[in-house]
Amino acid sequence: MRDLAGREDTRGSLLILVGCLAVALAGRAMPEPWAQGLAAAIRRTALRPVVLLAEKGAANNASRFAIEGVQRQRDSLALMVQAGAVTRRENENLRELMQLRQRLSQPYIAAEVLHRSVPTDSRTLLIGAGTRDGVRPFDPIVGPEGLLGYVWYAGPRASTVMTWAHPEFRASAVTADGRVLGMVLAATAPEGRRVTLQLTGVALRDSLPIGTEVFTAGLGGVYPRGVPIGRVMSIGDDPLGYERVYRIAPFANPGASSHVLVLTEPRDSAYLDLPAEPDSIALPAGAVRP
């Protein structure tokens, strides 16, 4: 130990040594709880700088090993990304060969159906996604089969969905060839036990064969163009005789849906191309493109 003048001070070193020995002997003679308390007090006061240096050294060692682990993970991720790009190109080539539709490119939010009515009367649904997830009123709701409805009320964590079975549901519709436009709305079947859709607003000069598929037309700013709605199953009656009315069998059943997709902005982007566009979707075998 050196004094202020830089000279060796053996007397000070000796005093420190004697003090350490005295503390050690006192700790040996004390009961175990007292000795532990004394050691903790010394670590918090006199040995605090030494403890801090030890902690810093341990943190530096841990950081070094952590950086090595991050580097290994980054290298593995780079290999996975490269392999994923090759797989994605192969998938695109296979889909082109099999004439399959492209995957959903519209931004969406996946949500779980928390509550629904009986399968025959599902006018509203409660989904587990809200404004905190980016859901807003009038966002379209779709399922794997097609259109289900739109967000009626968006809460912070849950939202209420008006399905196509609701009496106030409306959506502009168009046939697959883009030739016939109309408006779809809920209609009670004659037996009164099943709610279906009906296509109204079709001019008398336009006739649709049974089995014609109907899609959203993208008008009105709510539903994007090309979401599947249903298929024509019969011809309805117009009391005034001014238009043609068709009954539509919906593709999606709200009462059987457990998970849905909430389509977000931009609302005017296409969900999928209509079959009327030449190179978008292949027609079924034996069908002739108009």
Average pLDDT over residues 228-256: 85
User: Which 3-state string (H, E, C) describes the chain?
Assistant: CECCCCCECHHHHHHHHHHHHHHHHHHHHCCHHHHHHHHHHHHHCCCHHHHHHHHHHHHHHHHHHHHHHHHHHHHHHHHHHHHHHHHHHHHHHHHHHHCCCCCCCCCEEEEEEEEECCCCCCCEEEECCCHHHCCCCCCEEECCCCEEEEEEEECCCCEEEEECCCCCCEEEEEECCCCCEEEEEEEECCCCCCEEEEEEEECCCCCCCCCCEEEECCCCCCCCCCCEEEEEEEECCCCCCCCEEEEEEECCCHHHCCEEEEECCCCCCCCCCCCCCCCCCCCCCCCCCC
Residue, of 77 and 286, whose pLDDT is higher: 77
Which pLDDT belongs to residue 7?
Answer: 57
Among 67-71, 78-82, 194-198, 267-271, which is the least confidently predicted range? 267-271
More confident: 1 or 113: 113
Give me the pLDDT at residue 230, please: 93
Q: Which comes out higher in pLDDT, residue 183 or 104?
A: 183
User: What pTM was computed for the model?
Assistant: 0.56
Which pLDDT belongs to residue 19?
Answer: 75
**Higher model confidence: residue 64 or residue 221?**
221
In whole numbers, what is the pLDDT of the chain averaged over residues?
A: 76
Mention the CATH class of domain 108-263: mainly beta
What mean pLDDT comes out for the span 206-228? Answer: 88
* Each residue's pLDDT tens digit, 46-102: 767 766 776 677 677 667 667 777 777 777 777 777 777 777 777 777 766 665 555
| 138-151: average pLDDT | 91
